[in-house]
Amino acid sequence: MSGKMCSSSNSVIQAQKLVDQLQVEAGMERFKISLTAADLVQYCKDHRRGDPLLTGIAASSNPFKDKKSCALL
């Protein structure tokens, strides 16, 4: 019976932790999606020149580029 008491005690503690976490999340200030999306678009536009995914990486500074090709004899 001691095992059942310990098990139910653990589940009560877990449920209380979950309730506490949900209360914290519910109390958080939320941003409007439209404002956040507009800010993200503006940030991307402002930083597009320095973004290597958009502009590419110069071959001279690319550490992953093969240095030499392999020749089989």
Alpha-carbon distance values, 63 to 12, 46, 60, 66, 70 (Å): 53, 26, 8, 8, 18
pLDDT tens-digit readout, 22-65: 999 999 888 777 778 888 889 889 988 888 788 877 777 777 77
Residue 11: CB atoms within 10 Å: 10
- pTM for the model stands at 0.37
CB 13 within 8 A of CB 19: no
User: Does 5 have pLDDT greater than 80?
Assistant: no
